[in-house]
Amino acid sequence: MFLLLSTRLQGQSPGEDQWRQHAALQQQLVQTINEQGLTSKASDWIIPRDPQRLYVFTPQEQVHRPDDPQLASLLEDHAEKLFALAKKRIAENQAAACFQLLHEVLFYNPNHEPVRKILGHRREEDGWHVSSDRLRFTVGTRTQSLMNWPAKSYSICKTPHFEIVSQADEAQTRLLAGKLELWHQIWRQVFFEYWSRSSTLQRWLDGKGQARVPTKKFKVVFFKDRDAYVNQLSQWIPGIEGSTGYYEAAQKTSFFYAANKTQEAVAAEQATWRHELTHQLFHESRRSVESPFQDRYLWLGEGIAMYFESLTEFPRHVTLGGFDSRRMQYARLRCLKEQFYIPVATLTSLDKKSLQTHPEIKKIYSQSAGLTHFLMGSDFGTLRPKLSEFLQLSYQGKLKDNSFNEILEMTTSDIDTAYPDFLRVTSPQVESGIVSPETRTEFALPRTAVSATALLEIGKCPNLSWLDLSASDVRGKKLSGLRGCRTLRQLFLTGCLVDGQSLQHLRDVGQLTDLDLSASSVNDIDVASLKSLPSLANLNLSGTNISDAAIPALLKLPSLSGINLSGTQLTQSGVYRLQMANPSLSITF
């Protein structure tokens, strides 16, 4: 058996080999927990893993341990195995993987002295001193030099790594400060190879030094609201009104504002914070040129920031990437449904002006996000350390014409070929669970052939606003699984196999205002089931086989204001009859 396993491992990529070694330890822990009857007590320490997703652990000051001493002992034993695996990773020159494992060790054994020492933590009476948890507030006693704010009209919040000048209230500023420190810690784990060296980490492991808080602080300006942000920055940053946050490399400062506190506004606000912070950390964590992506690879500079938007927080860890991240929905939609794709070589050649004036700039941004998710998440993360090396050269202004091929060991044509396959989601992927379903607002799953079980998982997303299930078979009771999507407004069933029974189940799905049934199998009889959708305002039936016989059913939709009937079997006289019966209806025919 050992020889067979060794033979199989020889054909694996480094990322897959690392993934399977870690998974084997995790499976061993789960098996032992089950055998000893501790399953119900161990749920907080068992985290299912997705190979396309990155899991990063965040050390806390307060020690979180299980009450059961037997379980605590098992977790400490697992922590030791992870510590040994971390040492193996550094021997393989995988510094980021090693650094991340050190933090994971503390998840299972928060009192692991060697790791705490390596990371520069200090024991205190009630736990551990983790520097990122410390912040200090003062009132600005002199005119703020950059923004010209009068003395005592703003506060200064200093954290271990940031200096925030703020006109927002203290609660909002504390929220921003805490998030910036957390995300900085995550960024340092993910991109360890960018800001440090394997040899440095090896010295720490050998007891010759430890991680220290740098003396330089990243500067942030925090406005009280969007109006103040736009009014002041528009004087010297053209186009700022179109932004929701901004990093200015020349000033080495990020500019943010406090948003309205609806759940959607908070999520959008913090995604922007992460995006701009990523630019700042790459620019300022080591010496770099001011505009590393001015002439080429601009898609990657923006893409890596959009990848960091995918960060999802849990009490003691975060995830990055994944098929369910927001940016991936649009990337999937553009490529797999709309057939929009610019070859990477062409995309790379776009300079800043060409990109910003491109008529398809939004679609390019979606593709850029998808491509970066591919580089970070494909093949069990094999490309991640190589991407860090490439980014380092980019920010230093040392790229050569062949740097991409040499460092990533793949050509742009290789990416063009592999990318669509990476985008495709399988029904089992959805069935295995959606990370933080309450935060998911969009889902694009074209050509996924979703199962009833997968739709039940999607139904656990109460804040979903739109869903695309194009080219799937949703006949029968499948769509009943979506009844938990209470805020669903837009549903795209383009090219789907659909029937009257499936459409009847849509009455349980929030308050649909937009339904796309174009090129689907819907017929005249099926359309009668739409009467259960009183809020339906826009209906697309183009390319279907409906005829004039469907008109009575369409007239029973009280909120219908727009309908697309192009490419159907309706006659001109039938369309005229529909228009006369509902003069305010906008008809495309």
Q: Among 381, 403, 424, where does a domain finish?
A: 424
Residue 438 resides in a domain: yes
Segment (H or E) for 124:
strand 122-124
Please state, in angstroms and rounded to a whole number, the distance separating the CA atoms of residues 174 and 164. 10
Which two tokens mark 199?
A: 């040899």
On whether both 575 and 454 belong to a single domain, the answer is: yes
Residue 222 resides in a domain: no
On whether both 483 and 580 belong to a single domain, the answer is: yes
- Identify the pLDDT of residue 5: 32
DSSP assignment string, 352-396: HHHHHT-TTHHHHHHHHHHHHHHHHHGGGGTTHHHHHHHHHHHHH
Q: Which of 420, 443, 449 is nearest to 328 (CA)?
A: 443
Q: Is 456 helix (H, G, I), strand (E, B) or coil?
A: helix
On whether both 435 and 578 belong to a single domain, the answer is: yes
On whether both 435 and 582 belong to a single domain, the answer is: yes
> 573 with 550: CB under 8 angstroms?
no
Please state, in angstroms and rounded to a whole number, the distance separating the CA atoms of residues 367 and 376. 14
Report the DSSP pairing between strands 136-139 and 218-223.
Answer: unpaired
On whether both 460 and 579 belong to a single domain, the answer is: yes
Residue 571 resides in a domain: yes
- If phi > 0 it is left, if psi is from -120 to 50 it is alpha, else beta; for residue 153 that is alpha
Please state, in angstroms and rounded to a whole number, the distance separating the CA atoms of residues 158 and 177. 8
Q: Which of 318, 358, 321, 320 is nearest to 342 (CA)?
A: 358
- Identify the pLDDT of residue 8: 35
The pLDDT tens digits along the chain (589 residues) read 223 233 333 457 889 999 999 999 999 999 999 999 999 999 999 999 999 999 999 988 777 889 999 999 999 999 999 999 999 999 999 999 999 999 999 999 999 999 999 999 988 877 788 876 678 999 999 999 999 999 999 999 999 999 999 999 999 999 999 999 999 999 999 999 999 999 999 999 999 999 988 788 999 999 999 999 999 999 889 889 999 999 999 999 999 999 776 666 777 789 999 999 999 999 999 999 988 987 889 999 999 999 999 999 999 999 999 999 999 999 999 999 999 999 999 999 999 889 889 999 999 999 999 999 999 999 999 999 999 999 999 999 999 888 999 999 999 999 999 999 999 999 999 998 899 999 999 999 999 999 999 999 999 999 999 999 999 999 999 999 999 999 999 999 999 999 999 999 998 887 899 999 999 999 999 999 998 899 999 999 999 999 999 999 999 999 999 999 999 999 999 999 999 999 999 999 9
Domain range spanning residue 117? 12-128
Residue 2 resides in a domain: no
On whether both 411 and 435 belong to a single domain, the answer is: no
Query: In angstroms, what CA-CA distances link 532 with 53, 232, 245, 526, 564?
Result: 39, 50, 42, 12, 19
Residue 52 resides in a domain: yes
- C-alpha of 112 from chain center: 31
On whether both 472 and 577 belong to a single domain, the answer is: yes
- Identify the pLDDT of residue 262: 67
Residue 55 resides in a domain: yes
> 425 with 450: CB under 8 angstroms?
no
On whether both 371 and 444 belong to a single domain, the answer is: no
> 587 with 578: CB under 8 angstroms?
yes
- Identify the pLDDT of residue 295: 85
Residue type at position 319: T
On whether both 460 and 509 belong to a single domain, the answer is: yes
Strand partners, 564: 540, 588
CATH of the domain at 568: 3.80.10.10
On whether both 412 and 438 belong to a single domain, the answer is: no
Residue 407 resides in a domain: yes
Which two tokens mark 1?
A: 């058996």
Query: What's the domain count of the chain?
Result: 3
Q: Among 371, 392, 424, where does a domain finish?
A: 424
On whether both 413 and 469 belong to a single domain, the answer is: no
Q: What is the pTM (predicted TM-score) of this model?
A: 0.93
Q: Among 397, 424, 451, where does a domain finish?
A: 424
Query: In angstroms, what CA-CA distances link 356 with 101, 238, 239, 289?
Result: 40, 13, 12, 21
- Identify the pLDDT of residue 467: 98
On whether both 448 and 574 belong to a single domain, the answer is: yes
Residue 90 resides in a domain: yes
